[in-house]
Amino acid sequence: MKKKVLLVTALLASVLTYAQEGDEVVKNKKGYEVLPKAGDIGLGFNAVPAFDLMLNTLRYVSIMGNSAPVANGVAGSSVNYTSNQNNQIYGKYFLDAKTAIRVRIGLNTLTGTIINPVQDALAMDAATKGGSPDDIRAAALMKVDDKLKFRKANSAITVGYEKRRGYRRLQGFFGGELGLGRTNSWEQVTYGNAFSDTYKSDFTSNFNTLAVTTNDPLTSLPVSRSLSKDYNPGWRFGLRGFVGIEYFVFAKISIGAEFGWGYSFSKQNGRKDENEV
């Protein structure tokens, strides 16, 4: 932790030591003002997901360390769900040329279905009760699908205060912000084999490992399986300091990098489970 604090201090010092040229108005060759001024509104976005998508499309390893090829010449997943709102946009309102109020909005959602084929228990039961060996072999190849549908979302809104110092097109900025976030998730499972009192039925009990469990009506131990999980919304509140640099490539258009360090408090009150026995 001490190393990170020292890093923030060093970056902050470098920003504060940028030379100041009074109130010089920086203009481009056409005479347009390059830097923002009082009343200007700025919009921006986090470029990391865009870089990941572009680089993975070209089948290169992400420079952000977010994904890597899973095989020779094959790219990994391009956009992943993250708990820190990797997909976000922000806006700034400039009180003057050196001060701005900023708002960040992050929204990250992920939905999908996981399918795991298992033995068709009903077909196998019918084949073993009077069927020929060929019927049994054919039934062994028959599958039904267990399906897990899921959805999770992570959203946040952050309000901050920003100060700016710099030299011409190169600007340093620093400040602090307060944030409020919310997370929630849900999953539901449907099984290809129904429970039976007369024959064994296979089902997937753990979609993380895709391990298959068998329900045997002759066993003395009861077997249960999950039908749904509904997680209660979780809330978090946080404080964050930030420091960064920005270079104005064109009039009122810039690229930049930002480093932040913060603390957050989160709370979530359990979940509701539905099981079948």
Q: Which of 86, 111, 136 is the last residue of a domain?
A: 86
The CA dihedral of 201, 206, 211, 216, to the nearest 10 degrees, is: -30
- Whether residue 74 is found in the same domain as residue 171: no
- Whether residue 157 is found in the same domain as residue 96: yes
pLDDT tens digit at each of 277 positions of the chain? 333 322 332 333 333 333 344 456 777 777 778 888 899 998 887 777 666 666 665 554 444 444 444 444 444 444 444 555 567 788 999 999 899 999 998 888 888 899 999 999 999 999 988 888 898 899 989 999 999 999 988 888 999 999 999 888 899 999 999 999 988 899 999 999 998 888 888 888 888 888 888 888 887 677 888 899 998 888 989 999 999 999 998 888 888 888 889 888 888 788 888 888 8
- Whether residue 20 is found in the same domain as residue 125: yes
Whole-structure pTM over 0.75, yes or no? no
For 267, half-sphere exposure in the C-beta direction (CA atoms, 13 angstrom radius) is 3
Range of the structural domain that residue 246 is part of? 2-46+87-276
- Whether residue 102 is found in the same domain as residue 62: no
- Whether residue 141 is found in the same domain as residue 38: yes
- Whether residue 34 is found in the same domain as residue 54: no
Q: Which residues contact 54 (CB under 8 A, 6 or more apart)?
A: none
Closest CA to 154 of 106, 89, 102: 106
- Whether residue 122 is found in the same domain as residue 197: yes
Q: Which residues contact 114 (CB under 8 A, 6 or more apart)?
A: 147, 148, 150, 207
Look at the chain and report how many structural domains it folds into. Answer: 2
Q: Which of 27, 60, 86 is the last residue of a domain?
A: 86
- Whether residue 57 is found in the same domain as residue 96: no
Residues in the chain: 277
- Whether residue 72 is found in the same domain as residue 106: no
- Whether residue 56 is found in the same domain as residue 114: no
- Whether residue 80 is found in the same domain as residue 98: no
Compute the distance between CA of residue 52 and CA of residue 80 in angstroms, rounded to an integer: 10
Q: Which of 86, 111, 145 is the last residue of a domain?
A: 86
Kindly tell me the burial class for residue 202, based on how many C-beta atoms sit within 10 Å of its own C-beta (0-12, 13-18, 19 or more).
buried
- Whether residue 54 is found in the same domain as residue 42: no
